[in-house]
Amino acid sequence: MSETGLNFSVLHKDSGSGARCSVLRTAHGQVETPVFMPVGTAGAVKGITPDQVEQSGASIILANIYHLLLRPGIDTVEKLGGLHKFMGWGKPILTDSGGYQVFSLSSLTKIDDKGVEFASHVDGAKVYLDARRATKIQNRLGADIIMCFDQCAAFGCKESELRKAVKRTISWASACKDSHSNDKQMLFGIVQGGIELDLRAECASELVKLDFDGYAIGGLSVGEGHENMIKTTEYTVDYLPDDKPRYLMGVGTPADIIAAVRMGVDMFDCVLPTRNGRNSFAFTGAGPVRLRNNAHINDGSPIEDGCDCYSCRNFSRGTIRHFFNVGEMLGPILVSTHNLRFYQRLMAKIREVIAEGGFSDWSEVQLGKYRAFGGKRGQF
């Protein structure tokens, strides 16, 4: 146990794979891993109350400092009681540094070795972020886990640009470590390098020398495809310490998660449960269900037989289809609620199987099932 009480302990390891069960102790409570973290980019998981998120089984959620910096502003969040009170969430929170927006809003950015100037997507105002400012903002917000500022290069970019992004990511990580001043927070480094394995090895090795509290694998799920994602993740994990948490950022289908857990990844986040839920796409153990389909007009069954979520206990597929067709906001809420619970049930099962042994065999069966569903990225 560290002097601050923040630590990570591996409890069980699977004999046939790299999968492990662990406990991550933070200032706002324990997180059992492998864990899936719902995304609350601007301070809320879209359309879902914090109570509903907690009832899904979630133990930790995300927020993003770029979006909070623009609206409502860091000063306002502090005046409203800090990030946990602002979000109405008393459990652990992880904040992303805004580095991903360097990639996703590339048409609005100017980047050099010092940092990034954004043109706000809200009103065009100039916003500047560098490693030190991103860290200090996160120190002020008070999340339990904060991320280093990094550069996520676009998939397929020139090798020279990718190498430059890796060099900046390492340099910025060092600046983040030097600037970090809140001992109630864990600081994670982010490994970049696209699908170039030598660059992944270089970036991971340099970050490990800086001795972060945990390590994230960033820059994937950006168009490289499932096989490249799996290959890159498996390679990168070997360069990360066994006694620190490993976080695969933005990855997210059930098949992706199971495959990455096999490699020893502990933490995941993705917008799929709620984004797909808002578009009438439900995750179930028997495959995807598209609730706008005419097949569900008179269907009195729940979204998923055996699911204990609020939606499945109280509403039928036919009713939910009706809500979508008339534009009733309850439809997206119900499917999002179910999807969040589906993911948490999946993670609980993963932890249970690892602890009992036999995860390798179980995961092979599950991955075969998802391949039978079609396995399209963004679905299963």
Using one digit for the tens of pLDDT, what is the confidence trace for 235-286? 999 999 999 999 999 998 999 999 999 999 999 999 999 999 999 999 999 9
- Predicted local confidence at residue 377, as pLDDT: 45
The boundaries of every CATH 3.20.20.105 domain in the chain are 11-270
Q: Contact 118/1 with Cβ under 8 angstroms?
A: no
The catalytic residues are 96, 269
Q: What is the pLDDT of residue 4?
A: 78
Euclidean distance between CA atoms 230 and 271, whole angstroms: 19
Assigned CATH class of 11-270: alpha beta
By CB atoms closer than 10 A (0-12, 13-18, 19+), residue 60 is buried
Residue corresponding to tokens 């008339």: 326
pLDDT, tens only, 55-111: 999 999 999 999 999 999 999 999 999 999 999 999 999 999 987 776 777 777 899
Per-residue pLDDT, 102: 67
Instruction: Report helix, strand or coil for 231.
Output: helix
Q: CA-CA distances (angstroms) from residue 60 to 37, 94, 143?
A: 6, 7, 10
Share of the chain above pLDDT 70, in %: 98
- Contact predicate 360/26, CB 8 Å: no
Residue 1 pLDDT exceeds 60: no
Angle between helices 359-373 and 330-356 (to 10 degrees): 150
Give this prediction's pTM.
Answer: 0.96
Nearest of 122, 126, 131, 147 to residue 68 by alpha carbon: 122
Torsion-angle region of 38 (φ positive above 0: left; ψ -120 to 50: alpha; else: beta): beta
